[in-house]
Amino acid sequence: MLEKHVRRPLILAVAVAAAVLGVLGWQARDADEPQSAAAPATAAAPPAASAVAAQQATGSAPLLLTSEPPAPAAGLAAATPGASQGAFRVDAHGRLVQDQLLRLRIEELLALHEGADRTARLDAELAGLPAPAAARARELLARMDDYQAAQRAAFPPDEAPLVPEEGLAQLTTLQALRTSHFGAEAGRQLYAEDDAVARRLLELMRDETTASLSMEQKAMRAQARFDVERGAVRR
């Protein structure tokens, strides 16, 4: 039975205490701190919370979830009429759109399906796409499987950063790891949105001036400050 779960594409935002801390493993390393600090954030977004908890066990999740629907990757046109309107879709030139939505669906297939079942589901979703786009989708799924294994080996869940500076360094290392598996441009397109949010949250945690706070408490404060920043930009 697979023990990995999945995050859905258009999910609610979750606090960095549930996402960044969970993925980087601070909750595992900071066992003496009360875990209730993250409870309000996870309770506010149940669809995402279960996914983050699952990714804690595998270490395969990107660092943070966002509340916005993923935009088309830079430089790619919107899907053409008749193309798949799911995660696997093509641009005006028939090329596979490589973005967060695609990545999340690939992660979902890897997490919930295996063997012939996974192959059948993937084939069904790729039906109707141009052959080169379908081939690229299959290639990305294989590369994602390899990447997740490499990520778990490089960053075991029980060997997490103790301070935000280490988290920022880990994010940089993960980006380099993605480049080696997907290529620089594809790695950026698949993870750019999550990485940008995660980096800002980690920076806010790093800049927290109250030294006595636990990592979870810093995370909660960082999330609150980030929400204020995001609200100010939208107005």
The tens digit of pLDDT for each residue in 149-168 reads 999 999 887 777 788 999 99
Cα separations in angstroms, 105 against 49, 114, 168: 17, 14, 26
The answer to whether residue 225 sits within a structural domain is yes
The answer to whether residue 222 sits within a structural domain is yes
Residue 20 pLDDT: 53
- Number of domain units in the chain: 1
Residue 222 pLDDT: 94
The answer to whether residue 15 sits within a structural domain is no
The answer to whether residue 6 sits within a structural domain is no
The answer to whether residue 199 sits within a structural domain is yes
The answer to whether residue 118 sits within a structural domain is yes
* Contacts within 8 Å (CB) and 24+ apart, 179-185: 181/143, 181/144, 181/146, 181/147, 181/150, 182/140, 182/143, 182/147
Residue 117 pLDDT: 97
Q: Residues 182-220: pLDDT tens digits?
A: 999 999 999 999 999 999 999 999 999 998 998 889 999
* Contact indicator for 48, 11 with CB cutoff of 8 Å: yes
Q: Residues 91-143: pLDDT tens digits?
A: 999 999 999 999 999 999 999 999 999 999 999 999 999 999 999 999 999 99
The answer to whether residue 72 sits within a structural domain is yes
* Contact indicator for 51, 14 with CB cutoff of 8 Å: no
The answer to whether residue 2 sits within a structural domain is no
What is the extent of the structural domain holding 74?
Answer: 20-234
Phi and psi torsions of 214, nearest 5°: -75, 170
User: Rg of the Cα trace of the chain?
Assistant: 18
- How many Å apart are CA 76 and CA 33, to the nearest integer? 45
